[in-house]
Amino acid sequence: LAKTTQPISMDSYEGQEVNITCSHNNIATNDYITWYQQFPSQGPRFIIQGYKTKVTNEVASLFIPADRKSSTLSLPRVSLSDTAVYYCLVDVDQTGANNLFFGTGTRLTVIP
Amino acid sequence: EAGVVQSPRYKIIEKKQPVAFWCNPISGHNTLYWYRQNLGQGPELLIRYENEEAVDDSQLPKDRFSAERLKGVDSTLKIQPAELGDSAVYLCASSLGRWNTEAFFGQGTRLTVV
């Protein structure tokens, strides 16, 4: 299983751009990089997924360098409601199925 | 369309008692996951189903935990007997298929064993 490493926590002021980097040195060729967001007392929610270069949706952007050994989730102009835990996942098993193994994630606190 | 539905939302039981959690995935989703989440930790995968087949249950403590997904739709996770260390949030998730990384989670069942 590809292991991921993320900062345990981050603080940011409202309105700023937040970048959360995930390290996955042992990422496999078949692995996609997926990010989830979890609010207190709720299940995780899919944010974005990518394989290489850059992916953007209405919520976030995901930057993946050519070697794919890391990825950066970018949240533009965060608000208080973006306070949550963010998880980076890169697990695909030998059959090609996604196991969706979560690490400890990054706890983002947005400050007024 | 309703999302993943779990019940009960909360459960308090005494140790050594049995408990069961129920999950109704999103219609048409073939893959179903059960996770356990301890306070301050990420979700830990317990078991994954592809339709009615359990394809990954390596993290399921089989001496006291059991799960089933009859007819490949609803699923039940059971603990018998419960221990104090089983106190956690139990999350169910579903996705269209095994190669799909977008899983939809229910709100979870918060279990407290006293």
Average pLDDT over residues A21-27: 90
Nearest partner of A89 among B105, B97, B43, B56, judged by Cα? B43
Q: Is B93 in Cβ contact with A100 (below 8 Å)?
A: yes
Does residue A3 carry a pLDDT above 90? no
| Residue of B46, B98, B101 to mutate, testing the A interface (most A Cβ within 10 Å of its Cβ) | B101
d(CA A59, CA A15): 14
Tell me the shortest Cα–Cα distance from B41 to chain A, in angstroms. Answer: 5
CA-CA-CA-CA dihedral for B67, B70, B76, B82, to nearest 10: -40
Lowest mean pLDDT among A23-32, B20-29, B103-112: A23-32
Average pLDDT over residues A40-49: 92
A40: how many CB neighbours lie within 10 A of its CB? 7
| Residue of A100, A104, A106, A107 to mutate, testing the B interface (most B Cβ within 10 Å of its Cβ) | A100
- Dump pLDDT digits (tens) for B30-79: 999 999 999 989 999 999 999 999 988 888 998 999 999 988 899 999 99
Would you state the pLDDT for residue B37? 96
Mean pLDDT across chain A: 89
Which regions of B1-114 does DSSP assign to beta strands (E)?
5-7, 10-13, 19-24, 31-37, 44-50, 53-56, 65-68, 75-79, 88-95, 104-105, 109-113
Q: Going by C-beta distance under 8 Å and a sequence separation of 6 or more, which residues neighbour residue B70?
A: B52
Q: Is A99 in Cβ contact with B101 (below 8 Å)?
A: no
Does residue B19 carry a pLDDT above 80? yes
Nearest CB to A44; choose among B50, B95, B105: B105
Query: What residues of chain B have any CB closer than 8 angstroms to a CB in chain A?
Result: 4, 33, 35, 40-45, 48, 50, 55-56, 91, 93, 95, 98-108
Tell me the shortest Cα–Cα distance from B94 to chain A, in angstroms. Answer: 11
Q: Is B45 in Cβ contact with A101 (below 8 Å)?
A: yes
Tell me, yes or no, if A47 comes closer than 8 A to chain B by beta carbon. Answer: no
The tokens describing B27, both together, are 């219609």
Average pLDDT over residues B74-100: 93
| Residue of B38, B44, B100, B102 to mutate, testing the A interface (most A Cβ within 10 Å of its Cβ) | B102
- Dump pLDDT digits (tens) for A76-104: 999 999 999 999 988 655 555 666 778 88
Residue B23, CA distances (Å) to B17, B77, B82 in order = 20, 8, 19
Contacts of A104 in chain B (CB under 8 A): 40-42
